[in-house]
Structure 1
Amino acid sequence: MRQIEIWGDDDPDDRTNVLKVLIPFLLCGLFLSIVWFLLPVGGWLFLFAMMVAYVVPPLGRESVIPLCILGGIPWWLAAFTIVFLDFAGGLFMAWNFPLLMRIPRVGPWISRFVEAGRSFLDRRPWLERLYFVGLIAFVALPFDGSGSIVGSIVGRMLGMTKTEVLSCIVIGAVIGSYAIALGIDWVVNLIPPGAGFLLSIAVFLLICATLLVTYRNHYQRPETEG
Structure 2
Amino acid sequence: MRQIGIRDDDDDTTSGLKVSVPFLLCGLFLAVVWFFLPAEQWLLLFGMMVAYIVPPLGRETIIPVCILWGIPWWLAAFTLAFLDFAGGLFMAWNFPLVLRIPYVGPWVSRFTAAGRTFLDRRPWLERLYFVGLIAFVALPFDGSGSIVGSIVGRMLGMTKAEVLACITVGGIIGSFAIALGIDYVVHLIPPGAGLWVSLAVLLLIGTALLVTYRSYSRRPEADA
Q: TM range, normalised to the smaller chain?
A: over 0.9
TM-score, normalised relative to structure 2: 0.93
Partner amino acid, structure 2, of 1:61: R
Partner of 2:107: 109
1:38-187 alignment, distance < 5 Å: 38-187=36-185
Partner AA of 1:114 in structure 2? T
What stretches of structure 1 of length at least 5 have no aligned partner? none
Residue of structure 1 in register with 2:194 after alignment: 196
* 1:116-137: CA deviation from partner (whole Å, max 9, x where unpaired): 4432211111111111111111
Query: What's the secondary structure of 1:173's corresponding residue?
Result: helix
Note the C-alpha offset of 1:109.
1.4
Q: Deviations over 1:46-89 (max 9, x none)?
A: 01111111100000111111111111110000000000000000
5+ residue gaps in structure 2? none
The amino acid across from 2:74 in the alignment is W
8 A Cα contact 1:117 1:150, kept in partner:
no
Percent identity over the alignment is 73
Letter in 1 for 2:138: A
Instruction: Give, in angstroms, the shift of residue 101 of structure 1.
Output: 1.1
CA contact 2:12–2:94 (8 Å) conserved in 1 = no
**SS of equivalent to 2:56:** coil
- Distance in 2, Cα, partners of 1:110 & 1:40: 38
Q: For residue 194 of structure 1, give the secondary structure of its aligned residue in structure 2.
A: helix
Q: Which residue of 2 aligns with 1:3?
A: 4
Change (3 A) 1:152 1:98: same
Higher helix content, 1 or 2: 2
CA RMSD of aligned residues (A): 1.8
Structure 1 length as normaliser, TM-score? 0.92
Distance 1:53 1:97, change over 3 A: same
Whether the 8 Å CA contact 1:24–1:88 is kept in 2: the answer is yes
SS of equivalent to 2:142: coil
